[in-house]
Amino acid sequence: MSVTGLGPHGEHPTKLNEVSLSPIQSQQARDQKFRIAVVYHTTSSDWSKQSLKGLMNILSEHDIIVDDIIDCQFTPQLQIDALTTLSKRSDIDAVISIPIGNLDVIDAHRHISESGKKLILHDSVPTGLLPGRDYSSFISSDNFHIGTTAAEILSPHIPHKGAVGILTFGTDFYATNEREISFGRWFRSNRPDTDIITTRFHSLKHVKVAAQELIENNPQLSGIFVVWDVPAMDTIVVIDEKNLNLPLVTVDLSQNTANALSNGHHVIGVVAQNPYIQGEVVARTTILSLLERAIPSWIAIKGSAVTKDNVEDILQTIKYDL
């Protein structure tokens, strides 16, 4: 699977193997004793845990002190408060952030770079922030291709003139936006016989209500794409409660989605990211930025199509110790 999407400002991707540290640069980083803070949308998901493991692995190798790892619980105000506090600290050299939402959190992120700290963005970029001015670099999966791959997996399970549901995040979030757009585009181009029905949830607490709305209002529904694994598992609960048989595709190979896929429990496919490797790339990019080296504005990492037939193999080939 190749990288096919474009970055938030139309950038062509730089591949992860093009971002590396020389032995001299590694030693320079150790000598500097940098201090950073990490501000994640959540730290409780399998994806986040693996991303943090990869991140901490590289940072610890370079004697970089991580002062804070902040869980914003998918709440923009918590992120704003955290970034505001960090922007005022003189002992922090860089902040790694996964932005929640868009307009709400722009100023708080911009204050980080305005305070003289390096800002590295992971998985999302609020509209209006520019590389080289407001942040150093952006690292993510190729989310456009992830959405296309999800559509390709689900399509054979959708009958002629069937209806496809998309259950997606109501907050403006680059990664899920890309998945939703590319999934819908693929179906409109390759399966014009199908109807596409989109329902949004604005918080994880709202997922079951949104899933019920999607299913109850659309009895013709033939399958569902849920934009990541955590809401997908809540959607499965709703499907079970209604005693339905709806094929479902989602993103991220968590313990739960791997089990559901292996057991044939509604999940017929997953597009797996490699968050551990993403975390490592984020860490290396942060170090290069701190050393004032030139770095690309967007670094993209491809995903993997996972079905029941290859789930065990994928678990072995991507670095994901579930």
Q: Which domain holds residue 230?
A: 143-272
Q: Which two tokens stand for residue 310?
A: 């290859």
The CATH number of whichever domain residue 236 belongs to comes to 3.40.50.2300
67 and 97 assigned to the same domain: yes
* CA separation for the pair 258, 264 (Å, rounded): 10
With 0-12 / 13-18 / 19 or more C-beta atoms within 10 angstroms meaning exposed / middle / buried, residue 20 is exposed
Q: What is the pLDDT of residues 21-57, one digit of tens each?
A: 999 999 999 999 999 999 999 999 889 999 999 999 9
Contact 306, 261 (CB under 8 A): yes
- Quote the pLDDT of residue 119: 98
* CA separation for the pair 40, 35 (Å, rounded): 17
188 and 172 assigned to the same domain: yes
252 and 147 assigned to the same domain: yes
Instruction: Give the CA distances from residue 184 to residues 6, 149, 163, in Å, rounded to whole numbers and listed in that order.
Output: 17, 11, 12
246 and 157 assigned to the same domain: yes
Closest CA to 100 of 183, 179, 198, 175: 175
- DSSP notation for 212-227: HHHHHT-TTEEEEEES
280 and 264 assigned to the same domain: no
Q: What is the pLDDT of residues 269-304, one digit of tens each?
A: 999 999 999 999 999 999 999 999 999 999 988 889
Residue 306 pLDDT more than 50?
A: yes
pTM summary value: 0.90
* CA separation for the pair 301, 275 (Å, rounded): 9
* CA separation for the pair 3, 7 (Å, rounded): 11
* CA separation for the pair 9, 121 (Å, rounded): 14
Contact 138, 121 (CB under 8 A): yes
153 and 87 assigned to the same domain: no
261 and 293 assigned to the same domain: no
Q: What is the mean pLDDT of the chain?
A: 93
Q: How many domains does the chain have?
A: 2
299 membership: H or E segment, kind and range: strand 298-301
Flag whether 43 is in a domain: yes
200 and 221 assigned to the same domain: yes
Flag whether 217 is in a domain: yes
| Percent of residues in the chain assigned helix, strand, coil, to nearest 5 | 45, 20, 35
84 and 167 assigned to the same domain: no
77 and 219 assigned to the same domain: no
288 and 193 assigned to the same domain: no
221 and 127 assigned to the same domain: no
Q: What percent of the chain has pLDDT over 90?
A: 80
Give first-to-last CA distance, the chain, whole Å: 23
Instruction: Give the CA distances from residue 253 to residues 45, 69, 75, 122, 232, in Å, rounded to whole numbers and listed in that order.
Output: 11, 23, 24, 19, 11
Band of residue 4 on the pLDDT scale cut at 50, 70, 90: low
Lowest mean pLDDT across 68-72, 192-196, 299-303: 299-303
- Quote the pLDDT of residue 1: 43
